[in-house]
Amino acid sequence: MLTVCSRIAVPYDDSELSKKALETAMMLAKQDDRIELDIITVVQVPTTVAYYGVYNDDRIREAHLSAAKEMMNAIEEKMKDLPNKTRTFVLEGSPAHTLVDFVKQNDSDLIVMGSRGLSGLKEMFLGSVSHYVVQKSTCPVYIVK
């Protein structure tokens, strides 16, 4: 079989569309055991503004990271029967910028992502993260609706 890509990146935030994107990526990966899947979640720790300045509360950060790691553990369990190599990543930062940087650094050939996530931000056709990724990515982006 002709393999068009060898590494698929899947941004995941536990939204319904990211679940559909993961299912789509798994279906694509099943075409060839050599295709690797990278499932990425990006934690953007909220910043708190207080009288004495802006700060990040480490307890809030740890709670967000812990929840993200639990979510990724559940994904790893779901993926264990897939013959393809899979990796999960919990990253910190701005989701859009972090995803684009990840794809560049890890030589992803394709991104499969939902058109909107959990952010609630609305644009005319795409969410702000997917819109940015489509515009700035160095590889093709498959948008799942």
d(CA 89, CA 12): 10
Residue 57: per-residue pLDDT: 72
Contact 82, 29 (CB under 8 A): yes
Determine the average pLDDT of the residues in 110-128.
66
CATH architecture of 7-144: 3-Layer(aba) Sandwich (3.40)
Domain spans of the chain? 7-144
d(CA 130, CA 116): 7
Contact 36, 8 (CB under 8 A): yes
Tokens of 13: 């935030």
Determine the average pLDDT of the residues in 6-24.
96
The tens digit of pLDDT for each residue in 36-93 reads 999 999 998 766 655 665 566 778 888 889 999 999 999 999 999 999 999 999 999 9
Assess whether pLDDT exceeds 60 at residue 126.
no
DSSP annotation of 115: S
Instruction: Enter the pTM of the model.
Output: 0.86
Q: What is the largest CA-CA distance in the chain?
A: 62
